[in-house]
Structure 1
Amino acid sequence: MSAARAAGETRATLDPGASPVIDPHATMAGLTAHTSDAVLERPIGALWLGCFAGALLLTGLLAAGIWRLLLKGVGIWGINIPVAWAFAITNYVWWIAIGMGGTFISAALYLARQPWRASLNRFAESMTVCAVSVSGIFPILHLGRPWFFYWLMPYPNRMDVWPQWRSSLLWDFFAIVAYLLVSLMYWYVGLVPDFATLRDRARQRWKQVSYGVLALGWRGDAQHWRHYERVSLVLAGLSVPLVFSVHSMVALDFSEGLLPGWHSTLFPPFFIAGALFSGFAMALVLGIALRRWYRMEAYITERHLDNLAKMMLAAGLVVGYSYATELFTAFYSMDTYELAEAKDRLSGAYSWMFWLIVGCNVVSIQTLWWPQVRRNRVALVVISILVLIGMWFERLLLILNSLYHGFLPSSWGMFYPTLWDLAFLAGSFGMFFLLLLILLRCVPMLSMFELRKLIHQRGGATR
């Protein structure tokens, strides 16, 4: 086979459609300079400072809310009997779901050997780490006495206070800790070769030392690459099952309950589809923002946006099918309580929330069938934000509609959020973006070594 023919087949593999994996004119030198200078040389601009100040203010609001909760208890929220769950659990499920989408983009596409993931995996992994860090706060705060959260751990102690292994709180503890540790390891291992690049290009001595320590003595020899590929493969192989097991475990928090609307075997796959749905939506919003902010159009191309939009559409169709299945099961079974819960969802006190969810999660994504919409950045941002709003309300409705209307009229009661509920919600956004903005200044948002590999395969190694 001639060299020209081999190069042509490689190009065809990387560029199966009209839109390439990366810009055909991209070079290794340009990629390295563009990505590393964004961390090492780019000055702190007014836009970053403004976003950081806003995120810091909201994070301070979250800290104030936590302090108030420690002093007064969870009564500062609007929860009560019969609605004993509300915003905190909604925030927990919503944020951990966003992390699932980032892991799937990075790990699942790595196992599938998809070359176009190289432009997306770094910021998707960073999104996962930040989202899971935020989500882990809310189950602890919901304990009532959060300063005793360590009782969930099976640690040796002299008082013989052991965890309740049948409690979903314990399941959530192991799920979050395992997922956060694996996500952190996978994210950090992928950064080691790029930390070495930053070490070699840094001018200030403190940056050379800092990135040198983080690079773990990386020299890029064959032995290092062999170990790196093995570790990455193992961590990716662990991450993908965690995407399904962790959110299935979150779903079992509801499925183990005997309330109508919760006691269903549909929840684990339904929650997984919803997690990927909202995760892809957040990845689109962040990807488009980073593409514009850091001038990454050469590396995050229209093809990446198109593929992410297709993945979001596929996950959204499964979510819409799950909504229909829930209603069909209730009416087909003719169970008195399931039927009452389904009718209440359609026309009850919170029916406005259900139809908002249908509009955001089912109707809005139908426009993604058209390629023109999938490549329109403004349309993608609007649709993704609608999906994120719809998925948050979907988790809230799932909680409220089964709790506020009990078996007896004496146990009926509406939920009304307080200002502290809204403060915790806004503060969670602040903490997420604060962590993400810090990472933007410290680590490259593109995987330089993976993109250099694509450029080399394309035949542009020296241009």
Structure 2
Amino acid sequence: MAEVPAPVDETPVLEPGHTYASVTDQISSIVLTRKTSRGWVLGFALSFTLMMALLYATAYLLARGIGIWGTNIPVGWAFPIVNFVWWIGIGHAGTLISAVLLLLHQEWRTSINRFAEAMTLFAVSCAGLFPLLHMGRPWVFYWMLPYPNTMDLWPNFRSPLVWDVFAVMTYFTVSLLFWYMGLIPDLATLRDRTHNRFGQIVYGIMALGWRGSAKHWQRYEVAYLLMAALATPLVVSVHSIVGMDFAAAIVPGWHTTFSSPFFVAGAIFSGFAMVMTLMIPLRSIYSLQDFVTLRHLENMAKVILATGCMMFYGYAAEIFFEYYSGNEFERYLAINRLLGPYGWSYWGLIACNVLAPQLFWSRKLRRSIPVLFVVSLLVNVGMWLERFIIVVVSLHRDFLPSAWRMYYPTVWDYTHFIGSIGLFFTLLFLFVRLLPVISIFELRTLVHESSEET
């Protein structure tokens, strides 16, 4: 009896009917010829206002000290570290989409990789602020760098704070180089198409003399693949080190062996959710439905569903091992998370990270734009709640009941968090207005390959 072939998804990666000229015109026009809309101005003004609130709160923090936050004993890590881990997780999707999917020859990454890479840089920039501010004395940040000195002040390499410095700086540097390298051919396109003299100079300098010769393309493709191979281990290493920050401590709920894979899965989960949250309105506002098709959104939904199931397995395994270990402190932590004063955050986490992604088992719902947007938004909320539970709920009731204390965030905690969102969107608005949000040359490659097939 002959086997029935599996159904094949015939949805195209790129909508048919496009040529080199149409791809170049539609994407470059967002930067070069399209007028600045009122919506962009309002959105940028709101984001910039929130960023100014962040700067004001930071100045007040440096003048008064971190006592303005709700941080206390035993909750020495609170909102700053929660926000740091959340932002780092959001930045993971860019490297995965750009580097890993490139090496795996996944064509559907082409329309979203540029945006995801930019989102990575902006998210890591927001993340890096919080450990610095949490130090209390950020002006001596250089003490954590292995600089030669005569005072024997080399950093303590057993400190998780030093691990974060190396991991985050490496991740940001490689991501920046990878993003900029991918921009070079498109910057040359903008240089050649703009009629503004200032734009010609700026884009020309940034294009580094790109002329599109065969030698340029040969060297470019080799360098791009090498950068992708270099960036791929960062997908695992960066958030693994963030997970080891917690695993190195003896605090109940932190001292576990599966923190690293659990954190990596959560980072990919939240990163793809943020890409979808931002890309859905962007494709509608700038009429990019031909380039960011339903297939792209459906594939991202499948990744969210897969990593969501991994997160559910992690939550279940966590509770199982807390009871199986026979450690009374671990067992109490499990009860405290479910039924304690912060129990609302745990059940909110389950609703957002476990139940909501299950809707993506349905192909109809995976292809519904409102459902995709709402679920991705819920995942972002759920992942922030997860970081809150890991940091705050694990600390506020540790070994000694006499040291138990509730944590209540102050207005300055909220200001720094909301202000970091304003910084993220300010950078995002500038990126959309000044640089091509979708890779022009990679889409033209797809057009060429599809024309050869037909």
Structure-2-length-normalised TM-score: 0.97
Over 3 Å counting, the alpha-carbon distance change for 1:34 and 1:16 in structure 2 is: farther
- Contact 2:70 2:408 (8 Å CA) reproduced: yes
Residues 65-95 of structure 1 show CA distances to partners (whole Å, capped at 9, x for unaligned) of 1101100111111000011111100110000
**Aligned-partner Cα distance in 1 for 2:452–2:282:** 25
Counterpart in the other structure of 1:446 = 438
Amino acid at match of 1:403: L
Residues 286-309 of structure 1 show CA distances to partners (whole Å, capped at 9, x for unaligned) of 111211111001111000010000
Counterpart in the other structure of 1:186 = 178
Amino acid at match of 2:55: A
Matched, 1:205 2:197: yes
Q: Match for 1:163 among 133, 155, 160?
A: 155
Once the two structures are superposed, the pairs formed by residues 391-406 of structure 1 within 5 Å of their partners are 391-406=383-398
Q: Match for 1:317 among 309, 317, 328?
A: 309
**Aligned-partner Cα distance in 2 for 1:91–1:418:** 15
Give, in angstroms, the shift of residue 348 of structure 1: 1.1
Counterpart in the other structure of 1:214 = 206
Residues 206-263 of structure 1 show CA distances to partners (whole Å, capped at 9, x for unaligned) of 1111111111111111111111111111111111111110100000110000011000
Residues 127-172 of structure 1 show CA distances to partners (whole Å, capped at 9, x for unaligned) of 1111111111111111111111111111123433221111111100
Paired residues in the alignment total 448
Structure-1-length-normalised TM-score: 0.95
Gaps of 5+ in 2: 1-6
- Contact 1:111 1:233 (8 Å CA) reproduced: yes
Matched, 1:110 2:115: no
Counterpart in the other structure of 2:364 = 372
Amino acid at match of 1:425: F
**Aligned-partner Cα distance in 2 for 1:44–1:320:** 43
**Aligned-partner Cα distance in 2 for 1:207–1:93:** 37
- What SS does the corresponding residue of 2:110 show, helix, strand or coil? helix
Q: CA-atom RMSD, angstroms?
A: 1.4
- What SS does the corresponding residue of 1:163 show, helix, strand or coil? coil
Amino acid at match of 2:206: L
**Aligned-partner Cα distance in 2 for 1:46–1:73:** 40
Amino acid at match of 1:244: V
Counterpart in the other structure of 1:101 = 93
- Contact 1:99 1:132 (8 Å CA) reproduced: yes
Amino acid at match of 1:282: M
Give, in angstroms, the shift of residue 109 of structure 1: 0.6
Amino acid at match of 2:38: A
Q: Match for 2:232 among 240, 243, 262?
A: 240
Give, in angstroms, the shift of residue 446 of structure 1: 0.9
Matched, 1:412 2:404: yes
Counterpart in the other structure of 1:6 = none
Amino acid at match of 1:192: I
Give, in angstroms, the shift of residue 460 of structure 1: 7.5
Counterpart in the other structure of 1:329 = 321
Counterpart in the other structure of 1:11 = none
Q: Match for 2:335 among 334, 343, 356?
A: 343
**Aligned-partner Cα distance in 1 for 2:91–2:169:** 13
Amino acid at match of 1:234: L
- What SS does the corresponding residue of 1:119 show, helix, strand or coil? coil
- Contact 1:28 1:460 (8 Å CA) reproduced: no
Counterpart in the other structure of 1:10 = none
Matched, 1:176 2:168: yes
**Aligned-partner Cα distance in 2 for 1:395–1:313:** 20
Amino acid at match of 1:168: P
- What SS does the corresponding residue of 2:149 show, helix, strand or coil? coil
Once the two structures are superposed, the pairs formed by residues 241-256 of structure 1 within 5 Å of their partners are 241-256=233-248
- Contact 2:252 2:398 (8 Å CA) reproduced: no
Amino acid at match of 1:137: L
Amino acid at match of 2:173: L
Gaps of 5+ in 1: 1-14
Residues 253-293 of structure 1 show CA distances to partners (whole Å, capped at 9, x for unaligned) of 10000011000011000000000000000010111121111
Give, in angstroms, the shift of residue 387 of structure 1: 0.4
Identity %: 50
Counterpart in the other structure of 2:3 = none
Amino acid at match of 1:231: A
Q: Match for 1:142 among 115, 134, 138?
A: 134
**Aligned-partner Cα distance in 2 for 1:446–1:16:** 27
**Aligned-partner Cα distance in 1 for 2:152–2:74:** 33
Decide which moves more: 230-239 or 152-161.
152-161
- Contact 1:27 1:460 (8 Å CA) reproduced: no
Counterpart in the other structure of 2:260 = 268
Matched, 1:119 2:111: yes
Amino acid at match of 2:313: Y
- Contact 2:50 2:419 (8 Å CA) reproduced: yes
Once the two structures are superposed, the pairs formed by residues 55-94 of structure 1 within 5 Å of their partners are 55-94=47-86
- What SS does the corresponding residue of 1:42 show, helix, strand or coil? coil
Counterpart in the other structure of 1:422 = 414
Residues 43-72 of structure 1 show CA distances to partners (whole Å, capped at 9, x for unaligned) of 111000001000000000100111011001
- Contact 1:330 1:339 (8 Å CA) reproduced: yes
